[in-house]
Amino acid sequence: MLQLAQLQVELQKMNAENQRLKDMLSQVTNNYSALQMHFVALIQQQQRNHGVESDNKQEVINFL
């Protein structure tokens, strides 16, 4: 019975670690998406400011 209790404690620790890792992955994914949108907006603004043709916009978007 002691072994079962030890395994249950270990499982709880692993579940907590998995949840922590899921939360971290979610945060990284959100940060990446926000950075990507900011980058695209910055490139588009630079293109508007410098009058770059729309063909180059598509190249930047395809790069992402």
| Number of compact structural domains in the chain | 1
- Can you give the pLDDT at residue 51? 74
Tokens matching residue 43: 């490139």
Tokens 């729309």 locate to 54
* Residue-level pLDDT at 26: 98
What is the distance between the alpha carbons of residues 47 and 39, in angstroms, rounded to a whole number? 12
User: How many whole angstroms separate alpha carbon 5 and alpha carbon 7?
Assistant: 5
**Segments of the chain with pLDDT less than 50:** none
What torsion, rounded to 10 degrees, do the Cα atoms 34, 36, 39, 40 define? -110
Confidence at residue 2, expressed as pLDDT on a 0 to 100 scale: 86
Q: Which structural domain range is residue 22 located in?
A: 2-63
